[in-house]
Structure 1
Amino acid sequence: MLGAGDFPHILNDVNHNSRWKPVLPPISDPEHASAFQANVHLVYRACSEALLARLLVFKMYLKACSKVGFSHDQRRRWLESQIFPLDLTSDFDPFGTIKNSISILRLSDSILDEAISCTLKDIQSIWDLPPGEYIYITLDEANAASKKHRRAFSDEYGRYPILKEMLRALRRRMGHLPVKFVVAGTMIPPEHFQSATGEWDDFRWCSDTGSFDDPEEHRRYVSQFLPSEFVSSMTGQALLDRSWRWLRGRHRYTASYITVLLDSSFESPHTLLGNYIEKISNYIPHDNSEYTHGEVVRFNRWYTSIGDSGLKEGWVSTIEMHRAIISFLVTSKGCIDCSTKERALVSEDYGYFIDSDCSRIVLDEPLTIMYGAGWFKQTKMVYTITTFDTFRFQHGIDIRASHFAFFLALSF
């Protein structure tokens, strides 16, 4: 459910149904219960149609695989097709197209139920899932659904977004099977998933993003994508060193740069690295001219800068960013003890969790810190936080030695 146009469209498609109530009446209103049930049913129905589309394509895929025998490579290709549906057919998105066709048919609930049930039985007859293995259902970018239709549903804990009902619909449909749900997103409020009955107790809140913290591991990862003769050359070795120096941290920075290299057929690698760094951080790397001599001028057409919305709107992000810059200047390392009280550091893409329990946030990547340093240089907002009470009283920050350094740096 990663890249197709079936499940993501549910967020907007419900608006086109006359029975949909984007704002649920107060619980004291006689219409509250019926409006709530109507909204729940519409989401359940939309998820069922999208699920049936996925299952039908999955069934066809399994049939094709069964003719040659199942393998790990086939699982990988199925995952790729979820991310890039046009890999299955270049003319249209099969998942979104089939889902739309099912919607147009306006099947009764009973026929839709039977279709899903029969398709699941067919899948189980084709593919005998080994004991101890699971079907994984992933909702990526679930933070989008966690912000949508937050006034259309309510329970004893208050209003909640459409994401909760989408998960309930999928669990009702698939919960009897060996299924694990992966709900991925940067800002999914835990308070929406409270339950006195233990409904969500089998979900674990975690972060397993991972990062490149070892230069040799990073070198091995990058090398596997580069031509072997290039890796062994002086230019290639220099590129591996530079990419580690600038791109260490979350995997996404390195993977994104490799995408740029692949798109350019590995031409002008140092020029593209410098341009990529500049695009992301708004900083021209000081070592660029040393390595780009003789390369054809090329530009990164894929990525833009990190963005400053979190720095402009969130005091915690601003304070922690400056603290990371001070730390980086003094120790060549950023901050590994950022406050976890405010998740904006993660949701705005400046920091990331380094433990699976989401209890430690770091802000230590060169690209991020260079962007922050440039932002502080350009903005006038920084002069409004020179009062030390900003940290201590107004924003509830746990005071550390680097906060004193921050205060002094802004004061003189």
Structure 2
Amino acid sequence: MSATSQWISDIFESRDPDKVSNANTSNEGIVFNRISKVLLARRIVFRAFIEESRVLNDGALHEQIKLDWLLLQILPLVHVEDKDPFTALIHSCLIGATDGHLDSLNFGLAPTSVLGSAFNPTVDKFFHVLDEAQVAGKQYMGAFADADGEVPRSVLSPIVRHLTTLDDPLVRVIVSGTGFSLEQFKNVLGSGVSKGEDPWDLEHTTGDFTDQNLQLAYISRYLPPSFLLSSSGEILKTRMYEWLRGRYRFTARFLEELLSGHWETYRPASPHKLLNAYVYTLAYFTPLDGDKTLMKSEPDVEPIGVQGFYWEKIERSPQKLDLFNQLAHLIFTYITRGPYPMGYYELKPLVEYGLARFIKRDTITVEEPLAIVSIVLYFKFKRFTLDEDTYARLQDDKGRAFKELVLLKITKPLWNGQTLRSIF
């Protein structure tokens, strides 16, 4: 998009509100055209997919048709000049398509029309899913503005706006991800709904892998049984739970790296070194729990290009100090009192930055190992201490707080590798 001649990288270079508005409209038009092409390519391939499925099944659609369509989009086995069929179709046929042509074709290829009688409007829905929305949530920041033309927005806002202006009540839009603010797109729908109506159903609890058996069942779908039953596989299952439990994406993203990495016969070549590299990328900490013999036998791995936690966003936040104090309180409570810290909507910014998560509609916690390790190490690197929170507690709970203070002071020398003998 940024290569388009009409593109304006920073619409706020001018302080003239009219120029900002015009630049925003121009950039939005570029995005709308691109998203229309993406949708049309999906719909053209979808029609071919449905037609071929009917040919192979005597005019009917088999029970696994939804799963097959999902897999075709996630992992297409057919490529055209090293491109997936959707991208290849855009580059080959849709480059010069105008907005009018795209709108007309998208309307004519509405998924409900393609499915025909196979689609039951009373129980069925068709979904447009924008996953990992945090990626778009930080791209081209400043190339777009909010509804008032005052606050810089990323490309996520016009993408969601265009997806939701498709006038089809049988198509639902799902936006999922972590580390982006809901303000990025909630107000883009203001003109299409009444002031008292919120068109978004916000779902916080989408499941997790806090149950080791659930995580193992998921892992077993992708890794060979012969490997999982080996000594290396057994240790890896334990380590994956110790490090990656929590949100699905921690486990799923690691498996993606594992499956696309180097393999020997029916087994990944360096699963434990890869797990170490993965944890380091997310939390800037190299795990020390790996079996040394196994680690020595594995080839080295390349660094992993995975987005870690959004500390740079917290650094830029006007709530920075309050967020740090909240985190300090949570981590201190966890270290000294044991149970994972809980909170409510006051911790919502920590959810948007990926450090906390909802476990109920109104309950937030910081409990994932990767998040906790990342927080503690960030405090260490930034020399942000828990002392202020500790001394405040001494005023409120002198007996218990004194024990907590002693415990915290004892653990500090351990950062520098001191022996217990030298401490006591």
Report the TM-score, using the length of structure 2 for normalisation.
Answer: 0.70
- The answer as to 2:129 corresponding to 1:138 is yes
> Counterpart of 1:243?
240
Residue 405 to residue 16, structure 1, CA distance change in 2 (3 Å): farther
| Cα distance between partner residues in 2 of 1:41 and 1:260 | 36
Distance 1:324-1:87 versus aligned 2 partners, 3 A rule: farther
Deviation at 1:387, TM superposition (A): 4.6
Alignment of 1:69-80 (within 5 A): 69=57, 70-80=61-71
- 2:171 is aligned with 1:179: yes
| Structure 2 counterparts to residues 11-410 of structure 1, below 5 A | 12=2, 16-17=5-6, 22=11, 43-69=31-57, 70-84=61-75, 87-89=78-80, 91-100=82-91, 104-107=95-98, 109=100, 111-120=101-110, 123-124=113-114, 128-131=118-121, 132-143=123-134, 145=136, 148=140, 152=144, 155=147, 161=153, 163-173=156-166, 175-176=167-168, 178-186=170-178, 187-190=180-183, 192-193=187-188, 195=190, 197-198=193-194, 201-262=198-259, 263=261, 264=263, 265-289=267-291, 292=294, 295-299=297-301, 301-303=303-305, 306=308, 308-309=311-312, 312-313=315-316, 314-330=320-336, 333-337=339-343, 340-341=345-346, 343-355=348-360, 357=361, 359-380=362-383, 382=384, 386-387=387-388
Change (3 A) 1:208 1:101: farther
Name the CA distance, whole Å, in 2 between partners of 1:327 and 1:180.
41
Cα-to-partner distance string for 1:187-239 (whole Å, 9 max, x where unaligned): 24346256384386332122244221222223333334333344444554333
The TM-score, its normalising length taken from structure 1, stands at: 0.72
Q: Please say if residues 247 and 254 of structure 1, whose CA atoms lie closer than 8 Å, have aligned partners that are also in contact.
A: yes
In the TM superposition, residue 25 of structure 1 has moved relative to its aligned partner by 8.7
Which deviates more from structure 2 when the two are superposed, residues 196-205 or residues 134-143?
Answer: 196-205
Tell me the secondary structure at the aligned position of residue 174 of structure 2: strand
Amino acid at match of 2:356: G
Residue matched to 2:421 = none
Whole-Å Cα distance in 2 between the matches of residues 269 and 49 of structure 1?
39
1:48, 1:112 within 8 Å by CA — same for their partners in 2? yes
Contact 1:62 1:126 survives alignment (8 Å) = no
1:323 and 1:406 in contact (8 A); partners too? no
| Amino acid paired to 2:224 | P
Take 1:274 and 1:296, find their aligned partners in 2: how far apart are those partners?
Answer: 12
SS at match of 2:56: coil
Asked whether the equivalents of residues 258 and 274 of structure 2 are also in contact (C-alpha less than 8 Å), the reply is: yes
Gaps spanning 5+ residues in structure 1: where?
1-8, 393-400
Conservation of the 8 A alpha-carbon contact between 1:19 and 1:39:
yes
Query: Could you say if the C-alpha distance between residues 126 and 290 of structure 1 is closer, same or farther in structure 2, counting changes exceeding 3 Å?
Result: same
Q: Is the 8 A contact 1:138 1:183 kept in 2?
A: yes
Q: Indicate conservation of the 8 Å contact 2:11/2:20, yes or no.
A: no
Give the CA RMSD over aligned residues: 4.5
What are structure 2's unaligned runs of at least 5 residues? 394-399, 413-424
The amino acid of 2:279's aligned partner reads: I
User: How many residues in Structure 1 have an aligned counterpart in Structure 2?
Assistant: 384
The answer to whether the 8 Å contact 1:139/1:182 transfers is yes
Secondary structure of residue in 2 paired with 1:353: strand
Q: Deviations over 1:288-307 (max 9, x none)?
A: 24663773344364355835
1:145 Cα offset (Å): 4.8
Residues 1:50 and 1:215: Cα distance change in structure 2 (over 3 Å): closer
The separation in 1 between residues aligned to 2:279 and 2:10, in whole angstroms, is: 46
Counting aligned pairs with the same residue, the percent is 22
Return the letter of the residue paired with 2:187. Answer: H
Q: Is the 8 A contact 1:310 1:317 kept in 2?
A: no
C-alpha spacing 1:407/1:293, structure 2 compared with 1 (3 Å): closer
Separation in structure 1 between the aligned mates of residue 275 and residue 364 of structure 2, nearest angstrom: 27
Please identify, of 218-227 and 149-158, the stretch whose mean Cα deviation from structure 2 is larger: 149-158
